Amino acid sequence: MGHLRNDTCRVCKGSDLTRILSLGEHPPVDNFTDAEHLKDEKRYPLDVYFCGTCNLVQLLDVVAEDELFHGEYAYFSSASAPLVEHFRSYAEDLKNEQLQSGDLVIDIGSNDGVLLQNFVENYRVLGIEPSSNVAEIARQKGIETIDGFFTVEMAKKIVETHGKAKVVTANNVFAHIDDVDEIIRAVQELLTPDGVFVSESHYLLDLIEHREFDTVYHEHLCYYSVKPLIHLFDRFDMEVFDVRRIDVHGGSIRVYARRKSNAPVHSRVQDILSIEEQAGIHSLTRFNDFQKEVEEIRDKLVTLVRSFRKEGKIVTAYGAPAKGNTLLNFCGFNSHDIKYVTDTTPYKIGLLTPGSHIPVESPEILKTDTPDYILLLAWNYKDFILKKEQELRDRGAKFIIPIPTVEIV
């Protein structure tokens, strides 16, 4: 229970750690709540550190898993149509480049089966998902899913019952792991000798360049760039052999790793390292102005929303993603500022956002209600949502886009 604080870097174990951003104390972003449970809400520091040795950007405060997930998890990947399409095309890449029919694919943090559902026809699949309410949805789609946290012990049992996997994936979950050594050892147990470990994580370069400070929350322990990942895999005799920049979650990297071999490493790996070096994210000084830039966005948003409210305008928010809660809490917004938030996730509807306690409504409400301004918290789906909500905009509602710069459309 509660939280722990690391004093060494998660990847290199060094202690040359400098704070680059402090967002104050926040409740865990996926702990949507209700009137009865407001008194149980706990807050923990959201401070981001840079490692001078391997250059990993990370949180040192680790909130216990049972505090983060509250038994049930509020995030369902399939609630966002563009994400479903992303995982379809990701699966195509793996089928074309890494797999033969009949191979076993294992997904760690498989959520509602959004990736694995694309493999059920010609491949063997296994999901691992610690949130039982989410795992159940995957099973209903016919995807065998183990309920639990992934460990070396679990990996050994899986090999006994299912054999080894050609591909192991971990998407938007690798950066959530505190004990990365345990996970890599467990992945090594699962992989065939020529097996491939593929992970997608939000990319530090996009975070810094587009000021995506709201993607900082307790579940995201690491903000990966390619350099520290190479360092990490190297400690386990593994190598990164391909890297791709992916246009999801505001900018992600897909990293391919395997046991060290004589096979060629794709030139993209060196290219992206050079891009990182040139962008300065391997050096502490690049982060000097980040706190100031983030506070500028906050101050603009607060001034804008409060001035609209003073004029008697109605302001609501669109999407209740985890990152939206970092933004709402950092701005200090409450239900007087933002009347309600709409979200497509049935689980979230009827609850209150953590910390800011704004009611979550079904998107249906926007069929009849026309707010004056709608703060787009799910800004990573901006193009999709602006198009989808053209009729609402024709009725006069304007969207406030918070990231990368505050704008009204």
Binding site for ligand TMP (CB under 6 A): 79-83, 319-322, 343-345, 378, 380-381, 384-385, 388
Contacts of 14 (CB under 8 A, 6+ apart): 8, 51, 52, 53, 54
Q: Which does 385 bind (CB under 5 to 8 A by kind): Zn ion, ligand TMP, none?
A: ligand TMP
Query: Closer CB to ligand TMP, residue 313 or residue 388?
Result: 388
Q: CA 167, CA 53: separation in Å to the nearest integer?
A: 31
Query: Closer CB to ligand TMP, residue 4 or residue 81?
Result: 81
Q: Are strands 252-259 and 191-202 parallel, antiparallel or unpaired?
A: antiparallel
Q: Is 85 helix (H, G, I), strand (E, B) or coil?
A: helix
Least distance to ligand TMP, CB of residue 75, Å: 7
Residue ranges with strand state E in 44-184:
44-51, 57-59, 61-63, 104-108, 124-129, 145-147, 165-171
Q: Which does 12 bind (CB under 5 to 8 A by kind): ligand TMP, Zn ion, none?
A: Zn ion
Q: CA 401, CA 100: separation in Å to the nearest integer?
A: 43
Q: What is the H or E stretch that residue 374 is in?
A: strand 373-376
Query: Closer CB to ligand TMP, residue 55 or residue 110?
Result: 110
Query: Closer CB to ligand TMP, residue 156 or residue 387?
Result: 387
Least distance to ligand TMP, CB of residue 74, Å: 8
Residue 401 vs residues 152, 176, 234, 379: alpha-carbon distances, Å: 43, 27, 40, 7
Which amino acid makes up residue 124? R
Contact map string, positions 5 to 44, toward Zn ion, x by CB under 5 A = ----x-xx-x------------------------------
Q: Is 51 in the site for Zn ion (CB under 5 A)?
A: yes
Contacts of 346 (CB under 8 A, 6+ apart): none
Q: Is 54 in the site for Zn ion (CB under 5 A)?
A: yes
Q: Which does 343 bind (CB under 5 to 8 A by kind): Zn ion, ligand TMP, none?
A: ligand TMP
Least distance to ligand TMP, CB of residue 357, Å: 17
Query: Closer CB to ligand TMP, residue 79 or residue 167?
Result: 79
Contacting positions for Zn ion (CB under 5 A): 9, 11-12, 14, 51, 53-54, 56
